[in-house]
Structure 1
C-alpha cells in the first residue's frame, strides 16, 4: 500500500502533463496547415492564371543584342594615301569624302587612254580613206582590162598580117620571085607577131587578175567599216571603254562613304600604301540596326514573322521602349554554327536547351530618337497574339 501511495502524485496533478501540450499543439497545427495549403493553392492558381492568360500571350528573353550590317570601305584602286578626313566614332553622311589616294598614276593612265581614243578615231578615218582608195584602184584595174583586150586584138591583127605575108612569100619561093632574105624576114616577122599576140594575151590575163585582186582588197577594207561610223566602230568602242576605265580609276582615288553611319575600325594612315580591295575602315549604319534575340527552342512554337515585339536596352533603361516586329529566324542554332560544334553522338551527351536567333526589326524613328550601337544588350518580348 505504501508503495502505491507513494506512486500517486502528491499534489493531485496529472501524471502526464506533456499529453495536454501535444493536444493543444495539434489543435493549433491543423489551422496552420490549412492556411499553408490555401496559400499554396492560391499561388498555384495565380501561376496557372498567369501562364494561361498572360504568359501564353508572349515570350521574352534577356539574351538579345543589337546587330547591324556594317559597310566595309575598300579602295578600288591602289596607291598612297595622301589625306584622311575622318576618324573612329565620327558620324558621316553618304557621299562624304573619307580619304584620298595619290592620283598621279591614274592621271597618266587617263591621258594615255585619251590619246588612244583619238588615235582609234583617226585610224577609223584612215580606214575609210583607204577603202575609198582601194575602190578607185579596183575601178582603175577594171579599165586596164579593156586596154589589154585592145592590145590582144591589135596583136591578133598583126599576127594575121604577118602570117599572110609569110604564106605569100613562101608560095613564091620556087619561082625565084622572092629572095631568101625576104622569106627569112617574113618568117621573123611572123614569129615576132606570134610572140606579141602571146604577150597581149598574158597582159589581158594579168589585167583581169589585178582587177579581181583590187576588188577583193576593196571588199576586205569595206568589211572593217561596214555598218559603222566613227562612234560605233569596234576599235573606237574599245578605246572609249579603256578611257572610261581610266576615268573611273581616277574618280576612285577619292573614297566616299557608301552609307550614313558611324566610322569604326579605321586602319589607314596618311602615307600608307593601300591595295585594291583591302578594307580601310567600316561604317556602322546606326539608323538601320536590328536585334538578334536568342530564344529558347521551347519558346518558339508560336512565334511567327510579323509579330510585334517590345524591347528595352540596358543603355537607356526601362524608360525607353523600342517597338519592332519579327522579320525572320536564323538558319540554325548558335551551337550549330559554333567553331567547334557539339558532338551529340558521343556517349557523354547531355541534353542542353538550345537557343535560336530571332531577328527583330526596329522602328527607324525610335532609333533616330534614341540611337543604339552594335553589341548592346537588350530585353525582348514578342506578343504572340499579334498578327502580321
Structure 2
C-alpha cells in the first residue's frame, strides 16, 4: 500500500481534528465562558458644593491635579463672614453684660425681700433667666458665624483627582450648588456587562481577570455583586398611565446584559486607571490561564 494516500488521510484527519478542537474552543470561549468585552472602569466622583455663598477669590488647584484629603481647593471671599464674627462677638459681650446686670439686680432685690414685693423679686428672677437665654443664643450665633467663616475655605474630602474644573477666580459660588468635583483615587472598580446566559457561571467572590484596552498587563479582581435589574423598554407609561408595550416582537431574541461589579485587587505598576476606560473581563479560576485550554481561551478572548 502506498504511503501517500495514508499520509493524506492522516493529514486530513488531523486537520479535521484540529478544526473541531478550535471550533469547540471558540464555542466554549464565546458562548459558554463567563467573559465580556463590554466592561468599564468606574469610580466615585465627589461633587463638592459650598455651604456658604460668595465670590471666589482663589482657586488653588488645576484640572486633573492630584490632591490629598484636606488640601485646599478654593476660597470664597471671607470679608463678610469675618465681619459677621465680629458682630456676633460684640453681641455676646453685650448679652453677657446685660446678664450680669440682671443677676446683680435680682440679688439686691432678694436681699431686700422684706422691703421689696415678692412680685418684683419674681420679675427680676425671670429677667435673669431671659438674659441667660439671650446670652446662650448669642454664643450659638457666634459659633455659626465662625463656622461660616471656616466654610469659606473648601477642602478635598478624599484623596483623588480634580476633574472637569470650570471654576474661576471671580465666579460666584452658590450655597448647595457643586462647583468642583474630585474623583476618589481609592474607589476604582470594574462594571462588566455580562450576557444573561453566562450569569449561571458567575458567583459573588469569584476571581476575575481584567484586560484593559490600552495596557498589556492584566489586572486581578473579584466579583462583589451582581445586578438585580435593568430597564425594560416595555415598562414606560403613556399619558394615561398605561404600559406602552411594543406591538412588534423579534423572533431573534438577544441575551440581555446584566451589570456585574468587580473589585480590583491589584493594579500592576505603570497602569493608569481612568473612569470610563473600556476593558475585557473573564471570571474564573486564577490558575486557569496556565493550562493549555486556559491559554487558548485567553488568546481567543484577547482577539475577539
Measured against the shorter chain, the TM-score band is 0.7 to 0.9
Paired residues of 2:234 and 2:246 also in contact (CA < 8 A): no
Q: Aligned ranges for residues 193-342 of structure 1 at < 5 Å? A: 211-217=117-123, 220-221=126-127, 224=129, 233-317=132-216, 320-333=217-230, 335-336=231-232
Q: Report how many residues are paired.
A: 274
Structure 2 SS opposite 1:263: strand
Contact kept, 8 Å, 2:235 with 2:244, in 1: the verdict is no
More helix by share: 1
2:258 match: 356
Q: Larger Cα Rg: Structure 1 or Structure 2?
A: 1
Matched residue, 2:95: 120
TM-score scaled by length of structure 2: 0.77
1:383 and 2:284 are equivalent in the alignment: yes
The CA deviation string for residues 83-138 of structure 1, in whole angstroms up to 9 with x for no partner, is 11212122111111111111110111111111112222222222311321332343
What is the CA–CA distance in structure 2 between the aligned matches of 1:212 and 1:305, rounded to whole Å? Answer: 77
CA change 1:274–1:55 in 2 (3 A) is closer
Q: Tell me what 1:110 maps to.
A: 85
Q: Distance in 2 between matches of 1:315 and 1:339?
A: 38
Structure with a larger share of its residues in strand = 2
Bigger Cα displacement from structure 2, 99-108 vs 118-127: 118-127
- Backbone CA RMSD of aligned residues: 3.5
Distance 1:120 1:338 in 2: 66
For residues 64 and 160 of structure 2, the distance between their equivalents in structure 1, rounded to whole angstroms, comes to: 9
CA contact (8 A) 2:234 2:244 kept: no
Please say if residues 287 and 368 of structure 1, whose CA atoms lie closer than 8 Å, have aligned partners that are also in contact.
no
* Contact 2:50 2:151 (C-alpha < 8 Å) held by counterparts: yes
- The answer to whether the 8 A contact 1:310-1:321 is kept is yes
Distance in structure 1 (CA, Å) of the matches to 2:268 and 2:141 = 45
> What are the equivalent positions in structure 2 for 1:151-162 lying under 5 Å apart?
none
Per-residue CA deviation, residues 149-175 of structure 1 (Å, 9 max, x unaligned), is xxxxxxxxxxxxxxxxxxxxxxxxxxx
Q: In the aligned structure 2, how far is the partner of 1:50 from the partner of 1:126?
A: 93
Aligned-pair CA distance for 1:218: 5.0
TM-score after normalising by structure 1: 0.61
Any gaps of 5 or more consecutive residues in structure 1?
1-27, 142-210
> Aligned partners of 2:102 and 2:274: how far apart in 1?
64
For residue 272 of structure 1, report the CA deviation from its aligned partner: 1.5
**What are the equivalent positions in structure 2 for 1:165-176 lying under 5 Å apart?**
none
Encode CA deviations 1:313-347: one digit per residue, 9 max, x unaligned: 11212xx11111111123422x4499979x88323
Give the secondary structure class of the aligned counterpart of 1:72: strand
